[in-house]
Amino acid sequence: MPVHNTDIEEIFKEVADLLELQDANPFRVRAYRNAARTIASLPYSIIDLVEKDKDLTELPGIGEDLADKIREICRTGTLKFLKKLESEEGGSLHTLMGIPGLGPKKVKALHQTLGIETLQELAEAAQQGKIGTVQGFGEKSEANILKELNRLKERSGRTPYPVACQLAAPLIKYLKQKSGVKQIQIAGSFRRAKETVGDLDILASCTRGTDLVTYFVHYEEVDDVISEGKSRSTVILKSGLQVDLRVIPAVSWGAGLFYFTGSKAHNIAIRKLALKKGLKVNEYGVFKNDKRIAGKSEEEMYAQVDLPYIVPELRENRGEIKAAAEGKLPKLITLDDIHGDLHMHTKKSDGQHSISQMAEAAREKGYEYIAITEHSQHVRIARGLDAKTLERHIEEINTINNQIDGIEILKGIEVDILEDGSLDLPDEILKALDIVICAVHYLFDLPEEQQTRRIIKALENPFVNILAHPTGRVIGERDPYQVDMKEIMKTAKENNAFLELNSYPYRLDLNDTYCKMAKEMGLKIAINSDAHSIDGLDNLSFGIQQARRGWLEVKDVINAQNLESLKRLLRKR
Tens digit of each residue's pLDDT (9 = 90 or more) over 506-541: 899 999 999 999 999 999 999 999 999 999 999 999
Alpha carbons 402 and 562: distance in angstroms, whole number: 20
Q: Are 504 and 540 in contact (CB under 8 A)?
A: no
Question: What are the tens digits of pLDDT across the range 468-511?
Answer: 999 999 987 888 999 999 999 999 999 999 999 999 998 999 99
434 SS3 class: coil
Give, for 471, the enclosing helix (H) or strand (E): none
Bridge partners, residue 234, by sequence: 227, 244
- 90 burial level (CB within 10 Å; 0-12, 13-18, 19+): middle
Instruction: Give me the amino acid identity at 63.
Output: G
Give, for 526, the enclosing helix (H) or strand (E): strand 525-528
Taken in order of first residue, the domains within the chain and their CATH numbers are 5-155 (1.10.150.110), 159-247 (3.30.460.10), 252-325 (3.30.210.10), 335-569 (3.20.20.140)
Alpha carbons 105 and 111: distance in angstroms, whole number: 10
Alpha carbons 247 and 277: distance in angstroms, whole number: 29
Own/partner pairs, 101-105, CB within 8 angstroms, 24+ separation:
101/141, 101/144, 101/145, 101/148, 101/445, 102/145, 104/17, 104/20, 104/21, 104/23, 105/136
Q: Are 315 and 270 in contact (CB under 8 A)?
A: no
- Evaluate the omega torsion of the peptide bond into residue 529 and state whether it is cis, within 30 degrees of 0: no
Alpha carbons 375 and 346: distance in angstroms, whole number: 10
Instruction: Give me the amino acid identity at 463.
Output: F
Work out whether the CA dihedral 213, 214, 215, 216 comes out positive or negative: positive
Q: Please, how many CA atoms are within 13 Å of residue 554, restricted to the half-sphere of its CB?
A: 12
Q: Are 466 and 435 in contact (CB under 8 A)?
A: yes
The stretches of 385-534 forming alpha helices (DSSP H) are 387-403, 427-430, 448-459, 485-494, 512-521
Alpha carbons 497 and 464: distance in angstroms, whole number: 7
Cα of 12 vs its chain's centroid, Å: 19
| DSSP per-residue codes, 263-284 | -HHHHHHHHHHHHHTT-EEETT
Q: Which of 82, 101, 90, 112 is nearest to 16 (CA)?
A: 82
Contacts of 29 (CB under 8 A, 6+ apart): 16, 19, 20
Alpha carbons 240 and 157: distance in angstroms, whole number: 9
pLDDT (tens digit, 0 to 9) for every residue of the chain, 573 residues total? 578 888 899 899 999 999 988 888 988 998 999 899 888 878 788 888 898 888 999 888 899 999 999 999 999 989 999 999 988 877 778 888 878 778 888 888 888 888 888 888 888 888 888 888 888 888 788 888 888 887 776 666 788 898 899 899 999 999 999 999 999 999 999 999 999 999 999 999 999 989 999 999 999 999 999 999 999 999 999 888 999 999 999 999 999 999 999 999 999 999 999 999 999 999 999 999 989 999 999 999 999 999 999 999 999 999 999 999 999 999 999 999 999 999 999 999 988 899 999 999 999 999 999 999 999 998 777 688 999 999 999 999 999 999 999 999 999 999 999 999 999 999 999 999 999 999 999 999 899 999 999 999 999 999 999 999 999 999 878 889 999 999 999 999 999 999 999 999 989 999 999 999 999 999 999 999 999 999 999 999 999 999 999 999 999 999 999 999 999 999 865
Q: Is 508 left (phi over 0), alpha (psi -120 to 50) or beta?
A: left
